[in-house]
Amino acid sequence: MNHSVTEPSRLQKWVAGILVVGYALVTIMPLAWIIATGFKSPADAIAYPPKLVYEPTLEGYVNLFTTRSRATPETLAQLGPPQTWYDAIVRQYDMVISGPSRYGERFLNSVVIGFGSTFLSIFLGTLAAYAFSRFRVPLKDDLMFFILSTRMMPPIAVAIPIFLMFRQLGLSDTHLGMILLYTAVNLSLSVWLLKGFIDEIPVEYEEAALIDGYTRFQAFYKVVLPQATTGIASTAIFCLIFAWNEYAFAVLLTSGTAQTAPPFIPTIIGVGKDWPAVAAGATLFLVPVMVFTILLRKHLLRGITFGAVRK
């Protein structure tokens, strides 16, 4: 039998593989460099030529989580030998740890706002998507387009009135304000993606449930929702990644209590040009997303194109 003409030859596969792997290796270099810099000492980080082999240290991480102050030799002598390993690291530079830094708080804010807004946009999005998928809704196409069009708005264009509105309502720099804002931004994506997933679930299941005496709400809750779990999960990941990465609104609307990590991490650098601490902060913030992406690649990659092509 004639071998399929569309199957690439072995040579083609080899050449393609080598080129793609080469590109991939170049493309992850900056990311690998972030992770590597996090484990360097400040002197190694700015060495010339850039150091590939170095003695790893946790200095960057200690500096990331603490604030330090310089101590006179007398105070250092009074304090006696360092009590912990992180004390020991700081003492090398004649410094003492004076307290925790704000990184932990900012990271926690990102977690709370990220998960909070993801939960809300999935909750509202699933309800709306189900209604759009199954019921006769007046002006359905117009409403769907309206929902989509909210995504085309540049964030800066609506930032001014949102800034004023939040100031008026006391929502500036609050977790609730940011959760509501990110929910609104993510809703268009979640409604559109979820409607696609729910459309694929056969109506017959619900009809059978209705005949068995379920109410419409029970049919939705007990029959449709379990079937849509995969779709809901991959939509949730997109919403979470958006909220996790968002910067423009965060930098304009938060400054203290509710500030998330993206506007905070660049400020770690300070006057001392402490690149290992910045890299450590970036690593802790970026690595969860990288791991997620690699583990869930099947659903994610499908989701990106699915969402785009459908629109």
Partner 1 sequence: MTNDNTSRDPATAPAGLRRRIAGLSDRTLAFVFIVPTILLLLAINIFPLIWTIRLSLTNYRANRANEEIEWVGLRNYQRILTDPDIWNSMQATAHFLIWTLVLQVLIGFSLAYLINKKFRGNDLWTTIIVLPMMLSPAVVGNFWTFLYQPQIGLFNYVVAFVSGVDPASFSMIGDVRLAPWSIVIVDTWMWTPFVMLICLAGLRSIPDYIYEAAEVDRASRWRQFWTITIPMVLPFLMLAVLFRGIENFKMFDLVVQLTGGGPGSVTELTSINLKREAFEKWRTGYSSAYAIILFVTVFGLASIYVKALNKVKER
Q: How many CB atoms lie within 10 A of CB 7?
A: 8
Considering only residues 121 to 140 of the shown chain, the ones binding partner 1 according to CB under 8 A are 124-125, 127-128, 130-137
Contacts of 238 (CB under 8 A, 6+ apart): 186, 189, 190, 193, 300, 303, 307
CA distance 147 to 193: 12
State which of residues 263, 274, 277, 280 lies at the interface with partner 1 (CB under 8 A). 263
DSSP state letter for 223: I
Candidate segments 15-23, 59-67, 68-76, 94-102, binder of partner 1 by CB under 8 A: 15-23
Give the residue with the Cβ less far from partner 1, 2 or 78: 2
176 binds partner 1 (CB under 8 A): no
The 283-302 contact track toward partner 1, x by CB under 8 A, reads --xx--xx-xxx--xx-xx-
By CB under 8 A, tell whether 153 contacts partner 1: yes
Q: Kindly state the smallest distance separating residue 87's Cβ from partner 1, in Å.
A: 28
Within 217-246, the residues that bind partner 1 by CB under 8 A are 217-218, 241, 244-245
Q: Are 188 and 148 in contact (CB under 8 A)?
A: yes
Distance CA 160, CA 156 (A): 7
Pick 90 or 249: Cβ nearer partner 1: 249
Whole-number Å distance between alpha carbons of 157 and 169: 20
Q: Does 255 bind partner 1 (CB under 8 A)?
A: no
CA distances from 249 to 34, 104, 178, 227, 276 (A): 25, 21, 8, 35, 27
Looking at residues 53 to 112 of the shown chain, list those that interact with partner 1 (rule: CB under 8 A). Answer: none
Applying CB under 8 A, the span of 76-84, 87-95, 99-107, 281-289 interacting with partner 1 comes to 281-289
The residue to which tokens 């068995």 are assigned? 212
Q: Does 280 bind partner 1 (CB under 8 A)?
A: no
Q: Do residues 189 and 235 touch, judged by C-beta distance below 8 A? A: yes
**C-beta of 96 vs 124, nearer to partner 1:** 124
Give the residue from 255, 264, 259, 301 showing the smallest Cα distance to 285: 264
272 in contact with partner 1 (CB under 8 A) = no
Residue 89 beta carbon to partner 1: minimum distance, rounded to whole angstroms:
22
DSSP state of 221: I
Amino acid at 227: Q
Nearer to partner 1, 133 or 234 (CB): 133
